[in-house]
């Protein structure tokens, strides 16, 4: 399986998963965001990027990822539609999360996008009985090209319906815009990752101080 995935190097498979929730990591599949929140470099440029990210975040196995890639090559139009849906879902979620952070009402069109995906996800969910009791399981997803969108939509629905956004943060890095849940004890996390944005900010502050002291 590894051979099939090889040559499919994708920045989506190398990104830091710092959101603390699947739906937040999904919203972070951009290199950054401009001041108007629009993406600055997209990690999901191709259907294979979506599969690579899904494998990276653990929602599909290596074998499932290989099967999806194979299937997508036979169903190019469907794969393209799924990619388009993924990006639409991501942007709708981003706007909804930002609205939630600012205690604003989300756009109904964005909520509709999430609900459409949620409906598709729920159609593929079944309650099954195991030795340890009952649990939900995804069915018929072996070759469903949109199967990675199901757990993402579910994760977003769980987060949104729980209704606690007090720990939802946007990284303070310049043109970063990544979202994460601040689980630090004193709720003081400012950066998506210290090495990416935190250090950059530190360097910038240091330079400014240096400049003002030499001027
Ligand atoms: Zn950042």
pTM (two decimals): 0.90
The Å distance, Cα 198 to ligand 1 centre, comes to 7
The Å distance, Cα 193 to ligand 1 centre, comes to 6
The Å distance, Cα 109 to ligand 1 centre, comes to 28
| Token pair listed for 95 | 């706007």
The Å distance, Cα 30 to ligand 1 centre, comes to 11
The Å distance, Cα 24 to ligand 1 centre, comes to 13
Count CB-CB contacts under 10 A for residue 188: 7
Per-run averaged pLDDT (10 residues), the chain, 215 residues: 55 95 98 91 96 97 95 98 98 98 96 98 94 90 91 97 94 94 93 87 75 69
The Å distance, Cα 75 to ligand 1 centre, comes to 36
* Main-chain phi, psi angles of 38, to 5 degrees: -70, 150
Q: 180: part of which helix (H) or strand (E)?
A: strand 179-181
The Å distance, Cα 171 to ligand 1 centre, comes to 5
């Amino acid at each position: 399986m590894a051979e099939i995935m090889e040559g499919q190097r994708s920045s989506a498979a190398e990104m830091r998963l710092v959101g603390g929730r699947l739906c937040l990591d999904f919203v972070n599949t951009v290199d950054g965001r401009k001041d108007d929140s629009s993406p600055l470099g997209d990690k999901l440029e191709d259907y294979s990027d979506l599969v690579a990210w899904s494998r990276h975040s653990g929602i599909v196995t290596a074998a499932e990822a290989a099967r999806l890639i194979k299937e997508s090559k036979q169903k190019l139009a469907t794969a393209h539609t799924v990619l388009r849906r993924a990006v639409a879902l991501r942007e709708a979620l981003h706007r909804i999360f930002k609205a939630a952070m600012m205690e604003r009402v989300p756009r109904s069109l964005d909520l509709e996008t999430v609900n459409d995906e949620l409906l598709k996800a729920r159609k593929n969910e079944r309650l099954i009985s195991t030795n340890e009791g009952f649990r939900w399981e995804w069915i018929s997803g072996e070759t469903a090209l949109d199967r990675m969108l199901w757990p993402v939509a579910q994760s977003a629905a769980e987060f949104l319906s729980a209704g606690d956004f007090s720990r939802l943060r946007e990284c303070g890095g310049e043109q970063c815009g990544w979202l994460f849940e601040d689980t630090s004890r004193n709720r003081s996390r400012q950066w998506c990752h210290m090495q990416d944005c935190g250090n950059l900010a530190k360097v910038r502050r240091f330079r400014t101080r240096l400049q003002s002291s030499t001027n």
